[in-house]
A and B are shown apart, each in its own frame.
Chain A
Amino acid sequence: MIKKELFYVLIEGGILLDDIALGNNIPFLFAILIPILYKYTKRIHTGWFVLIAPFVLFIYFLSYLPVTSAGDAISQTLNWVPSLGINFNLYVDGLSLLFALLITGIGALVVLYSIFYLSKKTEKLNNFYVYLMLFMGAMLGIVLSDNIIVIYVFWEITSIASSLLISYWFYRKKSTDGAVKSMLITVFGGLSMLGGFSLLYVISGTFSIRELIANADMIATSSLFLPAMLLVLLGAFTKSAQFPFHIWLPDAMEAPTPVSAYLHSATMVKAGIYLVARFTPVFGGAAEWFWIISIVGTVTLFWGSISAVRQKDLKSILAFSTISQLGLIMTLLGLGSAAYYYGNGVEDTLYTTAILAAVFHLINHATFKGSLFMTAGIVDHETGTRDIRKLGGLMTIMPITATVSLIGLASMAGLPPFNGFLSKELFFTGTVNVTSFDFFNLETWGILFPLVAWIASVFTFLYCIILFMKTFTGKFKPENYDGHVHEAPWGMLISPMILGSLVIIFGLFPNLLSSSIIEPAMAAILPEAQGFDVNISHWHGFNTELFMTIGVVVFGVLLYMMMRKWSQTAFYQRERDPFNQLYDHWYDGLIKGSQAVTRIQMTGLLRDYMAYMAIFIVMILGYTMIRYNAFAIDMTNVSEITPYMWLLVIVFTAATIAVPFINNRITAVIVIGVIGFLLALFFVQFRAPDLALTQLLVETVTIVLFMLVFQRLPKLKKEKSRPRFKLINLIISLGVGGVFTTIALSAFAFRNDVNFPSIAEYFIENSKVLGGGYNMVNVILVDFRGLDTMLEILVLAIAALGVYTLIKLRLKGSEDV
């Protein structure tokens, strides 16, 4: 049996080393190996070893291209928690492969770039590459998984790895602040996404995305459809830095530039895009999905582009530009989801253009934004500053960097012949198409989409000009830079150059990708619409889109010419996003609020805590009594009360009432002793000789103890407390007493109703027969229930040892045993 199970484990291990699973796990394996390599090969930059992983994976994923472009998909299952339906279901289709290629391709370039960017002498490279590999593995996990719980797991690993990378220079306060902010926002989104996934499971009973898509009709009719959708979208929006969750991205620019280039432009921020694209077949077609994504995307696009204009830091401009471009892609996905509204088999290009534009721009953005971040990093690395007010005149000193930047910026601005032009044209086509839709109230509001898109494009064009002109043109002022400024080493230039040439290649030959990557990806987003024929061309003739682009260029240039005027305005001077204030207020308020709550509740006074407990007990018991109407008084079975007993009760009560009013310790102890002895008398009265004896002796020993301790204590001080405080205490005590008296009375009354035979009869009959003694109490203690006695003497022993150690072992202050 054991052998058989071992056999299964071996088989599972074998699957682990199988195709896709291995691909997914290689980065994690590297993350384990890197510290070892780092420790023992100090002479070689660790990055060279790391480079193997993304490079091999890129080649490996390329080998799947023929499969996916034929419309097929590969799936594989690796059991994790089969009993809960949570398994590593890996599924590779066009969309997954597109992302996997982006992740590994740009990953390889970023690692190459980082080898020259990070010095092996001064930086802790092992940390950097471990985090980077963790991130890469998790990102691949997100895009390759079919199981939503597994997606969630990898999703959170990317959040963690991202925060670790942002705070890579952890001795800088800004880095750690940025890391905390991104962590809080993305984990908030991640958790709500988990909620959404759970709701999806509740609706459909499956964690598999493919099965969810198959059950899309059933999900759409569920009452949980909207909550599930909103929660999933919250996850996607926070991760993809959509409005108003975009504020973490600019602060994440404190990370090393390779990280910014990789995580915060090309991969992680696109995880939300991936999620939306993946779930379009599940949620698409609903008006809410269409409107939420389109509006959030448009607002993000608009807000990101106007915020980017007023930044003074190269990376901040790029961060807001990333936000804006992500908003653009998100808008397109929202608009494209309208295709589902018309149900199966819609082949109208009216709807699919938006999806095409989204996929195409996704690729383009990854290429040009990666190269732009890398060139910004080069400028930073070689000049020591990223402030555009200090930079200038670098064109002749850094010709290659300037050229690559120019290509990237021109593409981002949407100029021909680069790829950004094509995707921007498609974007305009998509938004213009929207105006002709006639559903979801689009007739009236649809016109806003092309309008906002156009304005945002003008601003995009504007910040692209600013970026280039302020950095590379103008006069070179050596006093602004520390040290000698020169062109970057070749190694650092290779990656941006490759990306820059991709920008040109995709721009000149856009259909290079259409059948191999774009069409399968579109088929994954719109599986029910068949037979895409993507043919992207530069020239559409004189149509609206072309005029819009011309308008963008004209207005952009005009705005730049007038920059001297409007740069004096408050709009331009205010660099920080106003939403940061909101976040800061919330963050401070949360801390202050919880501190205030803690201060009210945690007074540090034991009597307050006692009061809480007493009040809670009174309330919960009182409520239960009232809720179940459990008050009852039944005096039928009460035995006769003798005058002697009345006397005892009166003295007992008098002594008890006297205790709180005594201001002298000795008197108090004596009165308590009186109560104890009276209790012994009660036991005598109720014919419990053993109890009476024990009570007498215990009372005696206790009083001796009290006396011993009291000789050390200072005189009792008269406590000065406000009458209100005393009143509250009185009320609480009366409450506790009242509740327990009522419960006792009611319990006694209810006992008459039920007729359980008392176990006492058994003891009376058997104490002599089975226990061999006439003293029933003693027989119960040592024989019938000896275990209780044994544990009680253990308690006594522990108490004695406790007293002994407390007194003998006098530790001072922070001393420890």
Chain B
Amino acid sequence: MKPIKSNDVMLQTLTRILVFIILSFSIYLLFAGHNHPGGGFIGGLMTASAIVLLYLSFDIKSIKKSLPINFITVIGIGLLLAVATGIASMLFGYPFLTQFFDYFHIPLLGEAELTTAIPFDVGVYLVVVGAALTIILTIAEDDI
């Protein structure tokens, strides 16, 4: 990507605000997935597009400085997490990828449902974020 010229004040200012909104929405989508539209895939894509927006508004170098993340590692962590939830159920003698859920009373939040599907979904989320950004960034950074 070419360095963005300095007169993109509007875009950059808006991005600063918007990215947080989009990111929070994406996190909402991720966790709301079990009972409302959303889930790891959608949340991941939303996060990825927020970060893409950052890259579009600023130059690659400064974003890399503020977001020092290797997205290939993110893919790996996501896959590990997803597989780990599957194997975890095997440890208790259930078939691979058996999910459990129960209701707990948590201070401040009140009655809440916790399920093993959530770590799995987070794994999906991380893989989607990592894969989308790896693909876009490698193509963007490439100079021929």
Contacts and interface: CB of A to CB of B under 8 A. Distances in A.
Nearest to A774: B35
B138 A803 contact: yes
A781 B39 contact: yes
Nearest to B75: A797
Interface in A750-782: 771-775, 777-779, 781-782
Nearest to A808: B138
Contact of A778 (B39, B45, B52): B39
A772 B37 contact: no
B42 A690 contact: yes
Contact of B97 (A700, A786, A803): A786
Contact of A708 (B71, B117, B140): B140
Given A690-B39, A701-B52, A712-B144, A774 B131 contact: no
A793 B128 contact: yes
A801 to B, nearest CB: 7
B24 interface: no
B128 to A, nearest CB: 6
Interface in B23-46: 29, 33-42, 45-46
B33 to A, nearest CB: 5
Contact of B124 (A697, A704, A793): A793
A800 B72 contact: yes
B134 A779 contact: no
Interface in B55-105: 71-72, 75-76, 78-79, 82-83, 86, 96-97, 99, 101
A775 B78 contact: no
B88 to A, nearest CB: 12
Contacts of A797: 75-76, 78-79, 127, 130-131
Contacts of A801: 72, 75, 134
Interface in A408-423: none
B138 A804 contact: yes
A787 B90 CA distance: 14
B72 A790 contact: no
Contacts of B123: 793
A619 B55 CA distance: 49
A786 B99 contact: yes
A215 B91 CA distance: 66
Contact of A773 (B29, B34, B49, B127): B34
Interface residues of A, number: 39
Nearest to A805: B138
B34 A778 contact: yes
Given A786-B86, A793-B124, A775 B36 contact: yes
Q: Tell me the interface secondary structure of chain A in the complex.
A: helix
B9 interface: no
B111 interface: no
A472 to B, nearest CB: 81
A700 B49 contact: yes
B97 A771 contact: no
A371 to B, nearest CB: 78
A771 B78 CA distance: 22
Contacts of A807: 138-139, 142
A591 interface: no
Nearest to B41: A694
Given A793-B124, A797-B79, A803 B117 contact: no
B136 interface: yes
A510 to B, nearest CB: 85
Contacts of B117: 771-773, 778-779, 782-783, 786
A32 B120 CA distance: 61
A698 interface: yes
Contacts of A774: 34-36
Nearest to B82: A790
Nearest to B45: A697
23 contacts: A689-B37, A698-B45, A701-B49, A701-B132, A705-B139, A708-B136, A708-B139, A712-B144, A771-B101, A772-B101, A775-B36, A775-B39, A778-B34, A782-B34, A782-B117, A790-B82, A790-B97, A793-B124, A793-B131, A797-B79, A800-B130, A803-B134, A807-B138
Given A690-B42, A775-B36, A790-B86, 13 more contacts: A693-B42, A701-B48, A771-B99, A772-B113, A773-B35, A773-B117, A778-B34, A782-B33, A793-B123, A793-B127, A796-B127, A800-B132, A804-B138
Interface of A: 689-690, 693-694, 697-698, 700-701, 704-705, 708-709, 712, 771-775, 777-779, 781-783, 786-787, 789-790, 793-794, 796-797, 799-801, 803-804, 807-808
